[in-house]
Amino acid sequence: MAGTYQESWKEPFLSPPRFEVTRSAKRLAELAKSATNLSVSGVVTEERIASMQSRGAGLTMLYGFQRVDQEILRELQALAEERQVVPQMQALFAGRSVNFIEGFDSERRAALHPATRDVFEQAITSDLSARRVVEEELQKLRTFFGEIGNSYDTMLFIGIGGSELGPHAIADALTCYNLPSRKVHYIGNIDPDEMTAALRGTDLRKTLVAIVSKSGSTLETATNEARARQAFQTAGLDPKQHFIAVTSPKTPMDDLSRYRAVFHLFDFVGGRFSSTSVVGGVLICFLAGATTFFEFLDGANQMDRLALRLDIRDNLPLLLALLSVWNRNFLGFPTVAVIPYSQALRRFPAHLQQCEMESNGKSVDRYGRRIPYPTAPVLWGEPGTNAQHSFFQLLHQGTDVVPVEFIGFKDSQYGEDCMYNGTSSQDKLLSNLFAQALALALGHDNENPNKYFSGNRPSTLILGQKLDAKTLGALLALYENKIAFEGFLWGINSFDQEGVQLGKGLAEQLIAVCRARREGREDLSASAVGRRLLDIVEDIGSAHGIVPKSR
């Protein structure tokens, strides 16, 4: 790692100038007024596409379809330097406290998820204690899944939010590498129908249940675990022989009297960044084996190494973050679509949705001050080419410009295809990807306004050879590090999620009212409006002649 960064910091953050007052931000605001127009003839050329690409960790990023030129790229580099984002990333990798709001009550802890995959030669995270406990848990994974052999063919994976979205997306992407007859049912929602659907037709004798909760007390997860335990007990089976836990040390779930095995998720790993920890490990090791999981970790670790480089052309996550900030803050685009041209990545946009919007959907900076500029864009997406027949109408001709991040691979996962009209399905898939990027950029002139395409709509292409475990790890870490860099650029705390707490607290009050009513008493802890809403729900059944009112 020599020469990739300088140890110039003394504290986790150096108090760089605020984003909006940096010289480079002011200059970028001026340059945005005459930003590159991609639809002008002669702008998008072979030379431009060839020169505007960066490579690393098995991925190639093409950004010639972004509305940037060399001067804008130099100013984006200057913005990264003024905001000191690489030293801040170095602080993150060192295990320094990055989860805080200065002067106010906040979590104040590390966000050391890179340590969960820093188990290869030439370690880049310097917190030895973190690496040690990670290695211990990985060894426990190897041992446990080696011991159970083929005792189970089905897993119920019970978690929610970061404990389900990321692992689900990763497991879906690696389905082609699954061991014979292995399958999984995901239960995240507290909706009872999801658990009912999973249990129907499942042979519980051959089922392993993974309960994932960092706190060990997540309401939805605890409720679903209780339902699953009831099902095993009704079937005459001992839940302890079938249930494993993933939780923090010393939580209510850290209890070997109730679980066959307990794997530890540590305080320095946030839920939405836990796919490379034992959270993703129990799932991938069960479905595809430990070797596949370690290949996944290796790919993530390789991308992490790039995140410490100073030159944005060599630092794919930083470059992707800067292009995002350019589109969001200087060109004024409020959303971004992530479109993977790979059906295996069908859940990947949903995972990134949480990572981006829960991390960077903030309106105060690290000092509790109200931010006068936009932060996280609304992120959304679906796989192509299906999406082309869905919402691409808006992407091409809608009143809002939506930057797109396309993801594609030269080879298919299974390597099975057919020739139709002289080309393979994979040929057609990639041709569609490239055609969409070209169409968004170039547009199309036509006297008929209904057939007119304005063009000048930016996109980035992220390409790889094949979506294998190693490439998937690199892709995940690309976005995880991109999101952290965005937070460093904006000066916000990307590692808490206070925005989810208010609704959870109000829900607890309403649940207490429901409990009291079932017990034949009244509970006034919830607001009068909340209690009235519950009254209306109770009235619905009787109003439609379905069930009698309980009150």
Question: Which tens digit of pLDDT belongs to each residue from 322-380?
Answer: 999 999 999 999 999 999 999 999 999 999 999 999 999 999 999 999 999 999 999 99
pLDDT of 544 strictly over 70: no
Average pLDDT, integer, range 495-515:
86
Average pLDDT, integer, range 499-513:
85
Average pLDDT, integer, range 397-411:
98
Kindly report the backbone phi and psi dihedral angles of residue 408, in degrees, each rounded to the nearest multiple of 5, phi listed first.
Answer: -150, 165
pLDDT band per the 50, 70, 90 thresholds, residue 13: low
Q: Are strands 459-464 and 404-409 parallel, antiparallel or unpaired?
A: parallel
* Catalytic residue selected from 389, 447, 519, 544: 389
Tell me the pLDDT of the chain averaged across its residues: 93
> Residue 529's pLDDT is what?
86
pLDDT band per the 50, 70, 90 thresholds, residue 3: very low
**Contact 197/142 with Cβ under 8 angstroms?**
no
pLDDT band per the 50, 70, 90 thresholds, residue 7: very low
> Residue 1's pLDDT is what?
30
Structure confidence by residue, pLDDT tens digits, 118-152: 999 889 999 999 999 999 999 999 999 999 999 99
> Residue 10's pLDDT is what?
39
- Domain 113-298: which topology? Rossmann fold (3.40.50)
Average pLDDT, integer, range 212-240:
96
> Residue 107's pLDDT is what?
85
Residue 410 annotated as catalytic: no
Residue pointed to by tokens 């330097």: 81
Retrieve residue 139's tokens: 């060894």
pLDDT band per the 50, 70, 90 thresholds, residue 6: very low
> Residue 14's pLDDT is what?
56
As a whole-number percent, the residues of the chain with pLDDT over 70 amount to 95
* Catalytic residue selected from 164, 225, 358, 405: 358
Domain boundaries, the chain: 19-82+309-496, 113-298, 499-543
Neighbour tally for 470: CB within 10 Å:
22
Average pLDDT, integer, range 168-186:
97
pLDDT of 537 strictly over 70: yes
- Count of residues making up the chain: 551
What's the Cα-to-Cα distance from 314 to each of 60, 459, 467, rounded to whole Å?
A: 11, 19, 22
The C-alpha atoms of residue 242 and residue 202 are separated, in whole angstroms, by 13
The C-alpha atoms of residue 49 and residue 462 are separated, in whole angstroms, by 13
What's the Cα-to-Cα distance from 504 to each of 101, 338, 507, rounded to whole Å?
A: 22, 29, 5
Residue 214 annotated as catalytic: no
Residue 544 annotated as catalytic: no
Lowest mean pLDDT among 9-23, 112-126, 198-212, 429-443: 9-23
Q: Are strands 261-264 and 243-247 parallel, antiparallel or unpaired?
A: parallel
- DSSP, collapsed to helix, strand or coil, labels residue 222 as helix
> Residue 427's pLDDT is what?
96
As a whole-number percent, the residues of the chain with pLDDT over 90 amount to 84
The separation between CA 464 and the C-alpha centre of its own chain, rounded to angstroms, equals 19
- DSSP, collapsed to helix, strand or coil, labels residue 462 as strand
pLDDT band per the 50, 70, 90 thresholds, residue 526: confident
Average pLDDT, integer, range 519-535:
85
Retrieve residue 156's tokens: 């119920």
pLDDT of 11 strictly over 50: no
* Catalytic residue selected from 206, 451, 504, 549: 504
pLDDT of 2 strictly over 80: no
What single-letter DSSP state applies at residue 338?
A: E
pLDDT of 96 strictly over 90: yes
Q: Do domains 19-82+309-496 and 113-298 have the same CATH topology?
A: yes
Task: Strands of 331-411 (E only): list them.
Answer: 335-340, 378-380, 404-409
pLDDT of 250 strictly over 80: yes
The C-alpha atoms of residue 14 and residue 488 are separated, in whole angstroms, by 11
Assigned CATH for 19-82+309-496: 3.40.50.10490
pLDDT of 8 strictly over 60: no
